[in-house]
Amino acid sequence: MTSVTEPVLDGIKELVNIGIGRSAGSLNALTGHHVTLNVPDVSISRIEDLKDDISYPYPSFSVINQDYCGSFVGTTLLIFPQKSAESLFKLLTGEEGRNEENDDLWQMTLLEVGNIIINAVMGSISNTLGNKLNFRLPEYREDSLDHLIDSSSFINSKYVIVTHALFSVEDQNIQGEIFLILADQSIDVLASSINEKMKIIKEC
């Protein structure tokens, strides 16, 4: 993927950082606690190598995904190991744990978190680069990484952009991953948009 150079990855990292910074403010308001989110690393991986690149080998995840089309065609996934999802749920609702009676609340809570973070990240990318995106409603599911990859509607794409997101909530460590899965041509469009933006900045 020659179009995705190191400066392009740095540009993606900066855009995602801006979006996550905005979502942190919204989560601060929701939780009443100081929430810090950052993106220490952004990389591009072959989709078949994704399970080897993920930073934790847990068998099952809570997954919020949102598809979009327009200048880019793809899906963004926000995934949490179950312990991190439980910590988020307790923080946001005060519930001690998940059970049959609060299962709907569990899904609604994690969907809201996903909606905040994914929209902030993708909004940062599309607004800064001037690319229009149309979003579908976010979806919640619980799945293994292998099945998640195999069932992706973009499995025929060769590459996925991976950002490692660390959620810090006071004394808690809540970890998540953000995956930007784009059709191959969309990755080229994203890279071209970032290169053009950097060119304009240099000329100013």
- Taking 70 as the threshold, does the pLDDT of residue 53 lie above it? no
Query: Distance between CA 196 and CA 52 in Å, rounded?
Result: 32
Q: Tell me if 1 is assigned to some domain.
A: no
Per the domain annotation, does 115 fall within a domain? yes
Structure-token pair, residue 7? 């400066």
Res 111: pLDDT: 94
Tell me if 132 sits within 8 A of 70, measured CB to CB.
Answer: yes
Calpha distance 33→103 (Å, rounded) = 24
- pLDDT tens profile 21-44: 888 888 888 877 788 887 778 888
Percent of the chain surpassing pLDDT 90: 12
Give the residue with greater pLDDT, 129 vs 51: 129
Cβ within 8 Å of residue 37, ≥6 positions away: 20, 21, 23, 24, 27, 117, 165, 166, 167, 168
Residue 80's beta-bridge partner residues?
62
Banded pLDDT at 182 (limits 50, 70, 90): confident
CATH, residue 20: 3.40.1550.10
Assigned domain for 127 exists: yes
Residue 52 lies in a domain: yes
Interatomic CA distance for residues 24 and 56, integer angstroms = 23
d(CA 53, CA 45): 8
| Residue 169 lies in domain | 6-203
Is residue 160 one of the residues assigned to a domain? yes
**pTM for this predicted structure:** 0.84
Q: 100 in a domain, yes or no?
A: yes
For the chain, the domain total comes to 1
